[in-house]
Amino acid sequence: MKQFKPSSTVVISSKAYEMRKNGIHVYNFSAGDPVLSNHPAIIDVAKETLDEKMSPYAPVAGLPELRLAAAKWMNRRYQSQYDTNQTMVTCGGKFGLYAALQILLEPGDEALVLAPYWVSYPEMVNLAIGVPKIIKTSEKTDWKIKAEQLRSHLTKKSKVLILNNACNPTGVLYSREELAEILAVAKEANLTIISDEVYSELVYDGAEFVSCAAFPEHSSHVIVIESCSKNFAMQGWRVGFAFGPENIIKNMTALQSQSTTGTSFISQKAALGALLHADEVASYVREEMDRRRQLFFQTYNRLFSKKSTPVASALYFFVKIGEDSLKICEEILTKSHVALVPGVAFGMEGYVRFAFADQESEIVKGLEALKTHFHL
């Protein structure tokens, strides 16, 4: 039997979970799991749906009204031109990514993955019997890939580029010009870009988020993955979206019909509640996460000698830690009861990822606990 690795972030959180079960308080900087009440716009619709006492199957591609609301939200917020047929509802952004790779890759095709990468990308490519081709980016180039660098990694087998903007774990954002250049190289090379944009609403200090969907001339080779998990703090509801060319969405829907059958009916209704009040719900989450981001960086800079500027987006801080990141994270977990994710899980040894999605008091106390044993 072929063995696939479980996601490394899950490995760390399970260890922390075991410690908690033994009565130890663990500060959770490992999970990008916003600890935040659902906005009333979500809960109200979910309650109304429960009161109807019916939980039918939803259409496989998602409730038509939700697909429409999602397409309208994308078009209004990110200047795309999607219609319902180019939109499907998935079980979180994760299944959208999985389905897109399954549909696009033939055995042996290469999917270009930029490191540091979100932990699941390489294994998802393996699951599609593709070959993950890792391209390292560096702190010096702001963790971004330039069009020229991308071109130099292309081979005849290159089929897909997975681009994560806004980025987990680095928090960097690509500008319109940078995206235009990358998209042009991709078009030239017949490469489909899977643009993972699940943090698109979590952009701070007035920075602009530019979606790969904002370039209509490239729509035939772009699939955008979105999610309610982070943007609307609905991670447990498991609602995501895939946007792209109609034929690809149709094939992804066929795959969904033979696997998950789609997202639960009540979750889709709840997501509709969020999307019908998208700006309000997103602001509520963004403002709360921004407070945590600022508090995290103020506290970090007060306690540790290496000063850092707050990240521009998402929920993470990716910072240099030392040679063996896994060993260091285990030591930190054991001594300070602070859970972090080692850089090696993102394909970037020597670094560590902090998440600032937990409540404010946890952020401060957790960093103080870290300080008692470690000097960063």
Total site size for ligand PLP, rule CB under 6 A = 13
Indicate the DSSP class of residue 159.
E
CB of 155 to ligand PLP, least distance (A): 25
C-alpha span between 329 and 299 (Å, rounded)? 20
From the list 73, 78, 118, 351, which residue makes contact with ligand PLP (rule: CB under 6 A)?
A: 118
240 lies in the binding site for ligand PLP (CB under 6 A):
yes
The edge-to-edge listing of strands for the beta sheet with 316-320 is 316-320, 351-355, 341-342
211 lies in the binding site for ligand PLP (CB under 6 A):
no
Interface of this chain with ligand PLP, residues 261 to 320, rule: CB under 6 A: none
Q: Which is nearer to ligand PLP, 78 or 336 (CB)?
A: 78
Indicate the DSSP class of residue 313.
B
x/- mask, ligand PLP, residues 62-101, rule CB under 6 A, reads ------------------------------xxx-------
How many contiguous H segments (helices) and E segments (strands) does the chain have?
13, 12
Q: Which is nearer to ligand PLP, 92 or 130 (CB)?
A: 92
49 lies in the binding site for ligand PLP (CB under 6 A):
no
227 lies in the binding site for ligand PLP (CB under 6 A):
yes
28 lies in the binding site for ligand PLP (CB under 6 A):
no
- DSSP-derived 3-state class of residue 74: helix
32 lies in the binding site for ligand PLP (CB under 6 A):
yes
Reported for 362-367, long-range contacts at CB under 8 A and 24+ positions apart, including other chains, are: 362/27, 362/28, 362/35, 363/292, 363/295, 363/296, 363/299, 364/295, 364/299, 365/27, 366/27, 366/28, 366/29, 366/338, 367/296, 367/299, 367/300, 367/303
Q: Which is nearer to ligand PLP, 264 or 301 (CB)?
A: 264
C-alpha span between 7 and 109 (Å, rounded)? 22
198 lies in the binding site for ligand PLP (CB under 6 A):
yes
Residues at the contact surface with ligand PLP, assessed by CB under 6 A: 32, 92-94, 118, 164, 168, 196, 198, 227, 229, 235, 240
